[in-house]
């Protein structure tokens, strides 16, 4: 659990006028990277690494993105996915904060690489999770085998819970974006609220209950659709 009082900003290498708070990276043992990009007026992104796919979600402010000769404006709640090696730029004319997730793309034989995706969270229906209308899941990216990652937003009414303690091979990078609750990680229970980030390694036991008077939401990354023993 990485709380905002511990965050340290550093220059965002390769970007102009931008700082990073790197929350999750290879250095901690993760197979992906998650950081907050703090973009100032007149800032511009740098390229993702070779073979690296990038997902961005606008937390605050707004950004213009460009790829394939087209531009789109993203306000808070907007998001974009750039497949590996798809040239793109993200620029901001106002102070802007992005959640950025990057990972090396793992191809799957028989499937083409995924296409770029642009959207906003309010276009995406929240579906009851395992039948519970008080725990709703928005799936921001298409669920298909081309994609080796998922990014979802989970919104719980106060008192709603993740229905089971989960243990799974997939990793998570999570950021609380609204409300509060208690996160169980292994055998410890932590109060969490807006701005907190959690890295869950593969097989980390996890569970959540929303508390307080407002719904609690978190956005999270998950690696999916690949088999580490039978990699391509
Ligand atoms: O997709 C998930 O694994 C999700 N249910 N996990 C979580 O919210 N901690
Ligand atoms: Mn999970």
**43 Cα: distance to centroid of ligand 1 (angstroms):** 33
Q: Does pLDDT of 22 surpass 90?
A: yes
51: confidence class by pLDDT, cuts 50, 70, 90: very high
The predicted pLDDT at position 86 comes to: 98
The predicted pLDDT at position 90 comes to: 98
What DSSP string runs through 169-228? Answer: SS-EEEEEEESEEEEEETTEEEEEETT-EEEE-TT--EEEEEESSS-EEEEEEEE-S--S
CB 20 within 8 A of CB 12: yes
Q: Does pLDDT of 68 surpass 90?
A: yes
232: confidence class by pLDDT, cuts 50, 70, 90: low
Q: Is the C-beta atom of 154 inside 6 A of ligand 1?
A: yes
**94 Cα: distance to centroid of ligand 1 (angstroms):** 33
Phi then psi for 4, rounded to 5 degrees? -60, -25
Whole-number Å distance between alpha carbons of 3 and 190:
11
Q: Which residue CA neighbors atom 2 of ligand 1 most closely?
A: 222
Q: Which of 151, 162, 182, 197 is the best mutation target for the ligand 1 pocket, counting ligand atoms within 8 Å of the beta carbon and taking the most?
A: 162
Q: Is the C-beta atom of 156 inside 6 A of ligand 1?
A: no
Q: Give the tens place of pLDDT for each residue, 76-135.
A: 999 999 999 999 999 999 999 999 999 999 999 999 999 999 999 999 999 999 999 999
Q: Which helix (H) or strand (E) segment is 20 a member of?
A: strand 16-24
Q: Give the tens place of pLDDT for each residue, 148-205.
A: 999 999 999 999 999 999 999 999 999 999 999 999 999 999 999 999 999 999 999 9
Whole-number Å distance between alpha carbons of 101 and 223:
11
The predicted pLDDT at position 229 comes to: 82
Q: Which residue has the higher pLDDT, 1 or 229?
A: 1
CB 216 within 8 A of CB 148: no
The predicted pLDDT at position 228 comes to: 84
Question: At a CB cut-off of 8 Å and minimum separation 6, what does 133 contact?
Answer: none
Q: Which residue CA neighbors atom 1 of ligand 1 most closely?
A: 222
Whole-number Å distance between alpha carbons of 112 and 138:
24
């Amino acid at each position: 659990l990485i709380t905002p009082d511990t965050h340290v900003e550093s220059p965002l290498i390769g970007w102009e006028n931008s700082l990073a708070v790197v929350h999750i990276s290879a250095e901690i043992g993760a197979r992906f990277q998650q950081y907050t990009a703090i973009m100032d007026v007149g800032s511009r992104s740098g390229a993702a690494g070779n073979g690296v796919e990038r997902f961005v979600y606008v937390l605050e402010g707004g950004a213009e993105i460009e790829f394939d000769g087209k531009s789109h404006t993203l306000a808070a709640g907007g998001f974009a996915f750039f497949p590996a090696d798809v040239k793109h730029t993200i620029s901001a004319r106002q102070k802007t904060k992005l959640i950025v997730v990057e990972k090396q793309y793992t191809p799957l034989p028989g499937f083409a690489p995924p296409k770029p995706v642009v959207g906003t969270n309010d276009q995406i229906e929240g579906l009851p999770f395992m039948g519970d209308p008080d725990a709703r899941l928005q799936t921001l990216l298409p669920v298909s085998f081309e994609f080796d990652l998922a990014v979802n937003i989970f919104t719980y009414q106060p008192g709603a819970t993740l229905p089971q303690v989960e243990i799974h091979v997939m990793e998570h990078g999570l950021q609380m974006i609204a409300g509060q609750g208690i996160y169980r990680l292994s055998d410890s229970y932590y109060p969490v609220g807006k701005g907190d980030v959690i890295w869950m390694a593969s097989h980390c036991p996890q569970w959540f209950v929303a508390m307080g008077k407002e719904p609690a939401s978190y956005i999270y990354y998950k690696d999916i659709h690949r088999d580490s023993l039978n990699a391509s």
